[in-house]
């Protein structure tokens, strides 16, 4: 005779037995899904191959450094004196997709060793344009707030830093100017 407890035990074993023989339900990919994934992947790959060169072409000008290492012929070296003189010259500039030829100004002179150097005319206070000896004091003067600089560009009043200078290259009797950089004399 089987007691109530024994019957429950038997039923439970039976259920377990049935469960262990139930087929495992796997999530299988249908043919339609397989085709969708394959075609989708192939299309994405082909689109990437076609679009990436276009993106690179569009973005490329933005990644190029502007005029790095380029020098512009400005004046014969023989015209440079100890007294600073103003020279204007044009550079070819590419800013993203925009090309232009802005005119720049440099104050060029020789130092006590006869070496040519060229100063930027942009005042280091708030960006007005300085000029040599405008007040007859053998200094660079700024008309906006009276900043003053020595012939080497050292700041004497109002501005906190010296005038920037151009990179200079002398070749075959001509002065070439490059990028503007902080004044190396101070």
Site map (CB under 6 A) of ligand FES, residues 125-164, x = contact:
xxxx-------------x-xx-x----------x------
Stretch that binds ligand FES, among 43-51, 65-73, 119-127, 132-140 (CB under 6 A): 119-127
123 binds ligand FES (CB under 6 A): yes
Give the shortest CB-161-to-ligand FES separation in angstroms: 12
Minimum distance from residue 121 beta carbon to ligand FES (Å): 11
* Residue closer to ligand FES, measured from CB, 123 or 177: 123
Q: How far apart are CA 185 and CA 131, in angstroms?
A: 19
Q: Is 119 in the site for ligand FES (CB under 6 A)?
A: no
Structural contact between residues 72 and 89, judged by C-beta atoms closer than 8 angstroms: yes
SS3 105: strand
Q: Confirm or reject binding of residue 105 to ligand FES (CB under 6 A).
A: no
For residue 105, how many other CB atoms are within 10 A of its CB?
Answer: 16
**E strands, 33-154, where?**
72-76, 85-90, 93-95, 98-100, 103-110, 116-119, 131-132, 140-141, 148-149
User: Other CB atoms closer than 10 Å to residue 172's CB: what's the count?
Assistant: 8
Q: Which residues bind ligand FES (CB under 6 A)?
A: 123, 125-128, 142, 144-145, 147, 158
């Amino acid at each position: 005779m089987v007691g109530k407890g024994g019957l429950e035990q038997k039923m439970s074993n039976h259920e377990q037995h049935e469960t262990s023989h139930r087929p495992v339900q796997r999530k299988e990919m249908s043919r339609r899904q397989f085709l969708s994934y394959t075609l989708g992947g192939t299309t994405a790959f082909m689109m990437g191959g076609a679009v990436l060169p276009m993106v690179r072409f569009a973005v490329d000008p933005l990644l190029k450094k502007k005029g790095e290492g380029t020098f512009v012929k400005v004046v014969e070296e023989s015209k440079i004196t100890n007294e600073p003189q103003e020279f204007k010259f044009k550079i070819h500039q590419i800013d993203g997709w925009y090309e232009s030829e802005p005119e720049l100004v440099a104050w060029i002179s020789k130092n006590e060793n006869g070496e040519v150097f060229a100063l930027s005319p942009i005042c280091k206070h708030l960006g007005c344009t300085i000029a040599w000896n405008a007040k007859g004091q053998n200094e660079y003067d700024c008309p906006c707030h009276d900043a003053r600089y020595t012939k080497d560009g050292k700041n004497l009043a109002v501005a906190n830093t010296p005038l920037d200078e151009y990179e200079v290259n002398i070749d075959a009797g001509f002065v070439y100017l490059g990028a503007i950089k902080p004044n190396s004399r101070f």
